[in-house]
Amino acid sequence: MYMKILVVDDEALIREVVKEYLVLENFDVKEASDGEEALSYIKEEDFDLIIMDIMMPKKDGFQTVKEIKQLKDVPVLMLSARGEEFDKLIGFNLGIDDYVTKPFSPKELVARVKAITKRHTKQNVTWKFGELTMDDVAHEVKIEKELITLTPKEYELLKYFFANHKIALSREQLLTNIWGYDFYGDDRTVDTHVKTLRHQLKEYGDYIKTIRKVGYKFEYEERK
């Protein structure tokens, strides 16, 4: 069964491009041109994810998300031509899962969609990369059969890396999703935890790549 995604944007071209790329990945996509139309669809059927633009006529994305969350608990990825921190904080405070600034790469958007749907699919509770495994039900991380002891924040950080495999993550994203949008620390908090996590993961720590001027990315590839 295909996952259903609702794309909400007043620009038809953006809806068409997003839909084209998502359909290629076997997602079932429905379009809405404004917040009111989106709400009418939400009331009639269920979606696995909503991609929501902020600047729209009739009802903007923030108000629409607020009303959607009162109706159903559905993941939301927000799109915006504005990258201001204030907008992002509003979105995360409303309960969105991710925030993408226009213009964006359709391929990256699809990768983020996959990451969100994976996190919200209950069956996806185990990750395995080579001999490194995470069992989120047992709350365990192992290398081969050796149990790796992680702090709560190290565990959540590794889980977020796994769920976003091969996606470049900014330090700001990591701070927001692991420590919370109202956390008053700085980038060094992320860097310190990544450093200790790499050490705990031994040879697998090398798969946490530093992305210059951005942040980090977990990218596992089989070694020949």
Determine which of 28-42, 124-138, 169-183, 188-202 has the lowest per-residue pLDDT on average.
Answer: 169-183
Establish if 196 belongs to a structural domain: yes
Whether 141 and 100 share a structural domain: no
b/e per residue 188-215 (b: at least 16 CB within 10 A): ebbeebbeebbebbeebeebbeeeeeeb
Residue 1 in this model has a pLDDT that exceeds 50: no
Establish if 39 belongs to a structural domain: yes
Section 151-155 average pLDDT = 91
Query: For the chain, how far is it from start to end, CA to CA, in angstroms?
Result: 35
Whether 81 and 166 share a structural domain: no
Whether 8 and 115 share a structural domain: yes
Residue after which a domain boundary falls, among 67, 96, 119: 119
CA separation for the pair 157, 194 (Å, rounded): 8
Count of CB atoms situated within 10 Å of the CB of 15: 20
Whether 180 and 83 share a structural domain: no
Establish if 47 belongs to a structural domain: yes
Scanning the structure block, which residue is given the tokens 């609702």? 6
Whether 10 and 112 share a structural domain: yes
Could you read off the pLDDT of 103-123 as tens digits, one per residue?
A: 899 999 999 998 888 777 655
CA separation for the pair 207, 27 (Å, rounded): 29
Q: Which domain holds residue 37?
A: 4-119
The pLDDT mean for the chain works out to 88
Could you read off the pLDDT of 186-197 as tens digits, one per residue?
A: 678 899 999 999
Count of CB atoms situated within 10 Å of the CB of 126: 13
Residue after which a domain boundary falls, among 97, 119, 141: 119
How much is the pTM? 0.56
pLDDT at 46: 85
95, 71 contact by CB (below 8 A):
no
For position 114, which CATH number holds? 3.40.50.2300
Section 39-52 average pLDDT = 91
Whether 98 and 159 share a structural domain: no
Section 35-47 average pLDDT = 91
Whether 85 and 192 share a structural domain: no
- Helical H runs in 80-219? 85-94, 106-119, 152-163, 171-174, 187-200
pLDDT at 113: 92
Residue 27 in this model has a pLDDT that exceeds 80: yes
Residue after which a domain boundary falls, among 89, 119, 149: 119
For position 173, which CATH number holds? 1.10.10.10
Establish if 224 belongs to a structural domain: no
Whether 12 and 32 share a structural domain: yes
Query: Which conformational region is residue 166 in: left (phi greater than 0), alpha (psi within -120 to 50 degrees), or beta?
Result: left
Establish if 223 belongs to a structural domain: no
- Residue scoring higher pLDDT (42 or 85): 42
CA separation for the pair 120, 123 (Å, rounded): 9
Establish if 18 belongs to a structural domain: yes
Percent of the chain clearing pLDDT 90 (strictly above): 50
